[in-house]
Amino acid sequence: MNEPIALDQALASFDALWSPRIVTRVNDYDVRVAKVEGEHVWHVHDDTDEFFLVLDGELHIGLRESGGERTVVLGKGEVFTVPRGTFHKPVAPHGARILLFEPSGTLTVGDRHEEVPAYVDVTTGHELG
């Protein structure tokens, strides 16, 4: 049944960090929400851009670009798209709630990544409870 989804309720339905839930799909894309805190891993999506919207808190995204490394800082309500082929590392020093928009099947750790610690979920997103 196609019904409206409250993002607050979707986020309240799970506790796992760095473990996105798919709230809806748009054509071949997932809209995912995640609770994040601490550091994710450096990784790259070779074939797709990745859209971030910060719903609450603050998200830092490290980027390795041709000119060097930099970090963008997103506050609540801010969006940023990481271009395909760009190594990036999301970090939320004090925690954040984020929304991601990316092709269904996109892995959280991309096509190439550094060693993944146990607290980072390697997933293409989970269905909502």
Q: Report yes or no: 11 and 97 within 8 Å, Cβ to Cβ.
A: yes
Q: Residue 3 CB, nearest distance to Ni ion (Å)?
A: 29
Which residue from 18, 30, 41, 50 is in contact with Ni ion, where contact means CB under 5 A?
50
Q: How far apart are CA 63 and CA 67, in angstroms?
A: 10
Residue 30 touches Ni ion, criterion: CB under 5 A: no
Nearest residue to Ni ion, using CB?
Answer: 50
> Under rule CB under 5 A, how many of the chain's residues touch Ni ion?
1
Q: What are the phi and psi torsion angles at 108 (to 5°)?
A: -60, -25
Q: Which lies closer to Ni ion via its Cβ, residue 62 or residue 95?
A: 62
Would you tell me which residues interact with Ni ion (CB under 5 A)?
50
